[in-house]
Amino acid sequence: MGNHNLISIRNISKNYADESGGVLALKEVSFDIAKGEFVSIMGPSGSGKSTLLHILSFMDRPTSGSYLFDGKPMEKLSDLELAHIRNRDMGFVFQAFNLMARSSVADNVLLPLLYSDLPPSQRKRKVEEAVAAVGLSDKLLTPAGKLSGGQKQRVAIARALVNDPSVIFADEPTGNLDSKSGATVMEILRQLHEAGRTIVLVTHETYTARFANRLISLKDGQVEKDVPIEKDGREDEHFFK
């Protein structure tokens, strides 16, 4: 099978209608993301990065252009079929954690498995493995609302991991965290990447973007830059601008 592309988009554009006639949020965007890559998507507010994330994760459809996910064209699929692929193949980590505060860590992480046909014993094992992967095994039964921000985000990563997705989308995952907790969260994402996970990170922070191996920066709905990130720390700040 080899290291083939998980995501291939070609000439993706997105128009939003508004009073003045329309807003072009994305304009002819094309790139590939190979299996096992760790990619940062950066850009100022209004650059189109949120729209791009929504299209990549099937939350929205492009106005024009083509999208191959794992080699299969997505244009012809129904919303239901896309939702099925999203539930099976995609994990999500959001800035706001999106956890159920009163439920235990274990119950939060279990959520993506509720629709799977796994027997309860296997679900339990998967939950325990995912929580162990983010270093929170001692908090399995703790209500999520009682955790610190950094711990909540680690629970969210465990939830994103639990159904063994093809790709993890992390949307500003350190946005609500202090720098120490943010570094811990990014370190976990880096370890997951080293273990073979494909990770797509949307961020406006240079510090978090540096954890990836490749930078795609957007400006006014277009790809301004698509470059590897050197790992010897040579980049200066303007590299990320």
40 vs 205: CA distance, rounded Å? 10
Quick check: 60 pLDDT over 50? yes
Section 40-56 average pLDDT: 90
Percent of the chain exceeding pLDDT 70 equals: 92
Q: Of the given ranges (35-44, 58-67, 150-159, 229-238), which has the lowest mean pLDDT? A: 229-238
Tokens 């080293």 label which residue? 194
Do the beta carbons of residue 112 and residue 88 sit within 8 Å?
Answer: no
Quick check: 150 pLDDT over 80? yes
pLDDT at 138: 95
> Where does the pLDDT of residue 236 fall: very low under 50, low under 70, confident under 90, or very high at 90 and above?
low
